[in-house]
Chains A and B, each alone.
Chain A
Amino acid sequence: GAGVSQSPSNKVTEKGKDVELRCDPISGHTALYWYRQRLGQGLEFLIYFQGNSAPDKSGLPSDRFSAERTGESVSTLTIQRTQQEDSAVYLCASSFGTGGTYEQYFGPGTRLTVT
């Protein structure tokens, strides 16, 4: 079966513009995660979705960031009024469940460059 897919793979945008990043999780995976990875750094947790429960948005860095997920399918991460510090790779992951030992499967990421 297909893995986690993300689009676009690369996005260059001007400062102040809005961008929308898309994630298609593995079919049947109820949990979906967004992470941000700045150059040379580890992954920062942004947001988590589990089924129809309220998402955990505790990692979103500002109110310019938002994300949605429809049921257990596609998720979109939206960044409004982009700033240069938003430049990073945005990674999406999904897992079958959220118990302690469920593996997260990662997509290839979207590399966002804000000029």
Chain B
Amino acid sequence: SQQGEEDPQALSIQEGENATMNCSYKTSINNLQWYRQNSGRGLVHLILIRSNEREKHSGRLRVTLDTSKKSSSLLITASRAADTASYFCATRSISGGSNYKLTFGKGTLLTVNP
């Protein structure tokens, strides 16, 4: 079953604008990761935030995590046409027996118009 749920399902913005995507999850997690997928093929790891962290930055990416609300957000600043892709959040459970599993949401399709 899908734990993460991203919203919006689709987002269309102009180049230079910021894009914000949200993810909600249901169970306690060890960490939350964001991935990007171009053209429905392989995923690329973007950033990982641990359950004891609240905010993390990587280049133009900013991720926040609110474990009390079981939610995360991914902000892409100064977007570029090349950022057009699907973005997925994935959670890693704290359950000792299966903490290797990543549970993915359905993704947000981001379109950045030049």
Contact = CB atoms under 8 A, between A and B. Distances in A.
B34 to A, nearest CB: 12
Interface in A1-56: 4, 31, 33, 35, 37, 39-45, 48, 50, 56
A101 B50 contact: yes
B63 to A, nearest CB: 14
Given A103-B48, A106-B42, A48 B101 contact: yes
Nearest to A56: B98
Contacts of B103: 45
A31 B41 CA distance: 20
B43 A91 contact: yes
Given A48-B101, A101-B31, A42 B43 contact: no
Interface residues of B, number: 27
Interface stretch (B11-19, B65-73, B74-82, B104-112): B104-112
A104 B31 contact: no
A70 to B, nearest CB: 20
Contacts, number: 63
Contacts of B102: 33, 43, 45, 104
A84 interface: no
Contacts of B50: 100-101
Taking each of B40, B45, B100, which has the highest tally of chain A beta carbons within 10 Å of its own beta carbon? B100
Nearest to A97: B100
B28 interface: no
Given A42-B4, A43-B88, A100 B31 contact: yes
Interface in B1-58: 2, 4, 30-31, 33, 35, 40-45, 48, 50
